[in-house]
Structure 1
Amino acid sequence: MKRHASAQWNGDLKTGKGTVSTQSGVLSQTQYSFTTRFENGNGTNPEELIAAAHAGCFTMALSAQLGAANLVADQLATTATVTMEKLDAGWTVTGIHLDVKGRVPKADAAAWEKATTAAKTGCPISRLLNTTITMETKLES
């Protein structure tokens, strides 16, 4: 299986603008720029897209882990926060924090912990990223 996305950029770093598009068409010439990445401009940025990919992948992996334990979630919600810092080597993604909430009938704390930990290490996007990934989880009743 292969998936693709594309980017186009015109101009210099600070005043130029670009677009990103995905194979599915969900993103179609979506604007990104210096201001959307390092300030609060309208549009997207690579770090936001990584966060979205990780949140989606992790949540699906968690659903699979729960299913393997014969548990089905009423609801799972994950927010992935990417941290980027300027280091000596330049701008670097230094971590991703997953904030995970779930309503899972019949799940106890041990089952929840086992499923979230396995999903964190087993999610393909987690394995792709070469950074520290932290997580906070909450099983709601």
Structure 2
Amino acid sequence: MFALSLIFIFGGLKLGLGSFFRLGTGAFPFISGSILAVLAIFVGLHEWRSKGLSHPPDWISFLAIVAAIAIFASTADRLGLVPAVFMSVIIASFPDRSLSLMGKAILGAIVSAACWVLFIRLLNLPFKAFVGM
């Protein structure tokens, strides 16, 4: 997590931070990377004090999240925001055994609808809900 934060921090510095009143393109990656670095340090100190990991890493969940991000990035332009979010939610919720397939589909529909309302209707971002519409 700390290494990822350094990538964001140095990437933000390369883009330029701008001034306090007129932020540059690198300000957001720099600020979010700095917050992530502080959180990583706190988590690392907590784990170090507790003498090791409290539980082993859940690699299936990690891979599901990485796959969901990759699916979203590769399908948002081709299919539109709503299908990309829906597929990402289904894939990210795959390791959760407490939700049935119908529950995952309902969750995907709710999150997709919320993204449509927030990003397309309220913020007027230039996303297409569905490609071809």
Higher strand content, 1 or 2:
1
Higher helix content, 1 or 2:
2
TM-score, length of structure 2 as denominator length: 0.33
TM-score, length of structure 1 as denominator length: 0.32
Higher Cα Rg, which structure: 2
